[in-house]
Structure 1
Amino acid sequence: MGKPTGFIEYDRIPSPVRDPLTRTRDWNEYSLPMPVVDLQIQAARCMDCGVPFCHTGEEIKNGVSGCPLHNLIPEWNDAVYRGEWREALDLLLKTNNFPEFTGRVCPAPCEGSCTVAISEPAVGIKSIEKAIIDRGFEEGWIQAQAPQKRTGKRIAIIGSGPAGLACADQLNKAAHNVTVFEKSDRIGGLLMYGIPTMKLEKDSINRRVNLMAEEGVEFVTNIEAGKDIPMAQLKAEYDSVVLATGAGNARDVKLPGRDAKGIHFAVDYLTQSIKDNLDNGGVQTLSAEGKNVIVIGGGDTGADCVATALRQGAKSIYQFGLRDKLPDLRAIQNPWPQYPKVFQMDYAHSEAEAVYGADPRQYLVNSTEFIKNEKGELTGLRTIDVDHVDAERNLVEVPNSEKIWDAEIVLIAIGFAGATPSIFKDFKVAKTNRHTIEAAKGFYRTDVEGIFACGDARYGQSLVVTAINEGREAAREVDFYLMGETFLP
Structure 2
Amino acid sequence: MGKHTGFIEYDRKVPIERKPSDRLNDWSEYQLLLSKENLEIQGARCMDCATPFCHTGIQLGRSMIGCPTNNLIPEWNDLIYRGRWKEALERLVKTNNFPEFTGRVCPAPCEGSCTVAINDSAVAIKSIERAIIDKGFAEGWITPNPPAIRTSKTVAIVGSGPAGLACADQLNKMGHSVTVFERSDRIGGLLMYGIPNMKLEKDIVERRVCLLEAEGILFVANTEIGKDIQANELRESFDAVILCTGAHKPRDLFIEGRELKGIHFAMDYLTANTKSLLDSHFADQAYLSAEGMDVIVIGGGDTGADCIATALRHKCKRIVQFGKHPQLPMGRTDANPWPEFPNTFSLDYAYEEASVQTGKDPREYSILTKRFIGDGSGRVKELHTVQIETRTDQHGNTFIHEIPGSEKIWPADLVLIAIGFSGPEEEVLKAFALKQDKHQKIKATNEKYATNIEGVFMAGDVRRGQSLVVWAIQEGREAAIACDSYMMSKIK
TM-score (structure 1 length as normaliser): 0.98
Return the alpha-carbon distance in structure 2 between the equivalents of residues 392 and 430 of structure 1. 31
- In structure 2, do the counterparts of structure 1 residues 389 and 31 end up closer, same or farther at CA, with 3 Å as the change threshold? farther
Distance in 1 separating the partners of 2:445 and 2:95:
22
- Name the stretch that deviates more: 426-435 or 165-174: 426-435
**Out of 464, 472, 475, which is 1:459 matched to?**
464
Match of 1:218 in 2: 218
Task: Kindly indicate whether the alpha-carbon contact (under 8 Å) linking 2:390 and 2:398 is maintained by their aligned counterparts in 1.
Answer: no
Structure 1 residue 176: deviation in Å? 0.5
The alpha carbon displacement at 1:441 in A equals 8.3
For residues 59 and 68 of structure 1, the distance between their equivalents in structure 2, rounded to whole angstroms, comes to 8
**1:38 maps to what in 2?**
38
- Deviation at 1:65? 1.1
Q: Hey, what's the Cα distance between the residues in 2 that align with 1:211 and 1:393?
A: 50
1:394 is matched with 399
Q: Which runs of 4+ in 1 moved over 6 A?
A: none
Deviation at 1:227, TM superposition (A): 2.8
Q: Which residue in 2 is equivalent to 1:347?
A: 349
- SS where residue 326 of structure 1 aligns? coil
Provide the secondary structure at the position in 2 that maps to 1:180: strand
Q: Which residue of 1 aligns with 2:141?
A: 141
Corresponding position of 1:251: 251
What is the identity, as a one-letter code, of the residue corresponding to 1:319?
Q
C-alpha contact 1:29 1:198 (8 A) present in aligned 2: yes
Structure 1 residue 15 displacement after superposition: 2.2
Q: SS of the residue aligned with 1:197?
A: coil
Compared CA separation, residues 341 and 485, structure 1 to 2 (3 A): farther
How far the C-alpha of 1:86 sits from its partner, in A, is 0.1
Q: Measure, in 2, the Cα distance between the counterparts of 1:19 and 1:99.
A: 25
RMSD: 1.3
Q: Between the two proteins, what is the percent identity of the paired residues? A: 57
Contact 1:479 1:485 in 2 (8 A): no
Q: Which residue of 2 aligns with 1:429?
A: 434
Could you tell me how far 1:440 is from its partner in structure 2? Answer: 5.1
Q: After superposing the two structures, state which structure 1 stretch, 196-205 or 142-151, moved more.
A: 142-151
1: CA distance, partners of 2:390 / 2:452? 42
Quick one: which amino acid aligns to residue 408 of structure 1?
Answer: D
- One-letter identity of the residue aligned with 1:133: I
State the AA in 1 paired with 2:399.
N
1:11 deviates by 0.9
Q: Show structure 1 runs of 5+ residues with no match.
A: none
Contact residue 112 and residue 340 of structure 1 kept, 8 A: yes
- Residue 421 of structure 2 aligns to a residue whose secondary structure is coil
CA distance in 1 between partners of 2:264 and 2:248 (Å):
15
Shift of 1:387: 2.7
Match of 1:412 in 2: 417
Q: CA deviation at 1:442?
A: 6.1
SS in 1 for 2:222: coil
Counterpart of 1:449 in structure 2 is: 454
Deviation of 1:191 (Å): 0.5
Q: Distance in 2 between matches of 1:101 and 1:301?
A: 16
Contact preservation (8 Å) 1:442, 1:474:
no
2:481 equivalent to 1:476: yes
Superposition deviation, residue 462 in structure 1: 0.2
Deviates more, 1:382-391 or 1:214-223: 382-391
Residue 311 of structure 2 corresponds to 309
Matched, 1:264 2:274: no
Tell me how far apart the structure 1 counterparts of residues 447 and 467 of structure 2 sit (CA, whole Å).
Answer: 17
- For 1:330 and 1:474, how far apart are their aligned partners in 2? 35
In the TM superposition, residue 389 of structure 1 has moved relative to its aligned partner by 5.5
CA contact (8 A) 1:157 1:164 kept: yes
Displacement of 1:388 in angstroms is 2.9
- Distance between the aligned counterparts of 1:207 and 1:415, measured in 2? 29
Say which of 370, 382, 398 aligns to 1:380: 382
